[in-house]
């Protein structure tokens, strides 16, 4: 009878001892409450609590990534876009994360969504598309200040994608095409200006040296003669005066 009575007592004692031993990993902390009052955070490693009196909540200190769902944002210039982002944060103070906010991960995600809409709604579309790094930094700083009382450190915020309506995409494509056409016309005009200056200098040279004009004419005829299906009729060599007169007329026309 004594052994039969002692076995349940020993079993209960073993259960109490086992439940009093707690082990938390290197990247975790155990927040202890005794009869509802906060005792503090313990860990990492092994420690003991009072069974049925103490309650422990384990907090992970590693960096967590939260996918911010797609948000409809109206920019400052009244363009509707869909924006999604990624939030990276970690718990710095485990006691604050437990006592100052309920479900800190969900609260941080909701705060990030509202902050994303507020910040991006205050900028224009061009700023959103071209200055994404500056916007990421601004979002990170605002969220970090807001979550600091919760013991949360926001390490980074990254805007993943910006979806534009089809009408805006077509408008941007037309604008880019017009810009390319503008650059091509400027290049062509610059080439025409340089060519006209070169022609003016050549006309002056030919006016001063008629034989150079004749040599250029022969070179041109040589180039034309490469085509096998053409017949080239050239003036006599004594007609150099007409060629010189032509060069003089071109030079005077260019001076005007």
Residues 28, 72 share a domain: no
Domain with 47, as residue range(s), is: 2-60
Residue (of 180, 68, 153) closest to 119 by Cα position: 68
Give the start-end residues of each E strand in the chain. 21-24, 28-34, 37-42, 45-48, 54-60, 64-74, 80-91, 152-163
Burial 30-51 (b: 16+ CB within 10 A, else e): bbbbeeeeeeebbbeeeeebee
Closest by CA to 137, choosing from 155, 121, 122, is: 155
Q: Which helix (H) or strand (E) holds 99?
A: helix 94-99
> For the whole model, what pTM was predicted?
0.65
Rounded Cα–Cα distance for residues 72 and 81 (Å)? 6
Whether residues 196 and 240 share a domain: the answer is yes
Helix (H, G, I), strand (E, B) or coil at 200: helix
Asked if residue 227 has a cis previous peptide bond (ω within 30° of 0), the answer is no
Q: Are residues 77 and 155 in the same domain?
A: yes
Compute, in degrees rounded to 10, the torsion defined by CA atoms 203, 206, 208, 211.
Answer: -170
**172 contacts: CB under 8 Å, gap ≥ 6:** 164
Let me know whether 8 and 56 are in one domain.
Answer: yes
Give the pLDDT of residue 204: 73
CATH classification of the domain holding 150: 3.30.479.30
Do residue 154 and residue 196 come from a single domain? no
Name the domain boundary from 127, 148, 164: 164
Domain limit, last residue, from 119, 138, 164 = 164
- Point out the domain boundary residue: 60, 91, 107: 60
pLDDT at 197: 79
Residue 57 pLDDT > 70, yes or no?
Answer: yes
Residue 182: pLDDT over 60: yes
Clarify whether residues 17 and 77 are in a common domain.
Answer: no
* Domain shared by 178 and 248, yes or no: yes
- Spatial distance between the Cα atoms of 33 and 39, rounded to a whole number of angstroms: 6
* Dist. CA 173–CA 5, nearest whole Å: 87
d(CA 241, CA 220): 18
47 and 75 in a common domain: no
Mean pLDDT of 131-146: 93
Q: Please indicate, yes or no, whether residues 130 and 153 belong to a single structural domain of this protein.
A: yes
3-state secondary structure of 152: strand
Q: Are residues 96 and 48 in the same domain?
A: no
- Which pLDDT band holds residue 239 (cuts at 50, 70, 90)? low
Instruction: Indicate if the alpha-carbon torsion angle 12, 15, 19, 23 is positive or negative.
Output: positive
Please check the confidence at residue 151 and state whether its pLDDT lies above 80.
Answer: yes
For the segment 73-97, what is each residue's pLDDT rounded down to a tens digit? 988 888 889 999 999 999 999 999 9
The yes-or-no verdict on residue 251 having pLDDT over 80 is no
Q: Is 138 exposed, middle or buried (0-12, 13-18, 19+ CB in 10 A)?
A: middle
Query: Into how many domains does the chain fold?
Result: 3
**Residue 68: closest CA among 109, 96, 99, 106:** 109
Residues 79 and 159 in one domain: yes
Average model confidence (pLDDT) across the chain:
81
| CA–CA separation, 213 and 234 (whole Å) | 14
Query: 141 and 82, same structural domain?
Result: yes
């Amino acid at each position: 009878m004594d052994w039969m009575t002692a076995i349940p007592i020993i079993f209960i004692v073993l259960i109490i001892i086992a439940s009093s031993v707690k082990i938390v990993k290197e990247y975790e902390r155990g927040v202890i409450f005794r009869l509802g009052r906060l005792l503090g955070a313990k860990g990492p490693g092994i420690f003991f609590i009072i069974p049925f009196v103490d309650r422990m909540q384990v907090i992970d200190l590693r960096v967590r990534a939260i996918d911010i769902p797609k948000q409809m944002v109206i920019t400052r210039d009244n363009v509707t876009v869909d924006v999604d982002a990624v939030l990276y944060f970690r718990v710095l103070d485990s006691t604050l994360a437990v006592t100052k906010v309920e479900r800190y991960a969900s609260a941080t995600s909701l705060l990030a969504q509202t902050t994303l809409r507020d910040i991006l709604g205050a900028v224009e579309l061009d700023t959103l598309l071209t200055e994404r790094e500056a916007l990421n930094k601004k979002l990170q700083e605002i969220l970090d200040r807001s979550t600091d009382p919760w013991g949360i450190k926001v390490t980074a915020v990254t805007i993943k994608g910006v979806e534009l309506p089809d009408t805006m995409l077509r408008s941007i494509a037309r604008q880019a095409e017009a810009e390319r056409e503008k650059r091509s016309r400027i290049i062509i005009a610059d080439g025409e200006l340089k060519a006209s200056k070169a022609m003016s200098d050549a006309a002056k040279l030919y006016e001063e040296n008629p034989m150079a004009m004749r040599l250029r004419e022969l070179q041109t005829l040589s180039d034309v003669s490469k085509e096998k299906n053409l017949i080239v009729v050239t003036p006599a060599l004594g007609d150099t005066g007409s060629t010189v007169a032509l060069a003089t007329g071109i030079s005077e026309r260019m001076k005007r």
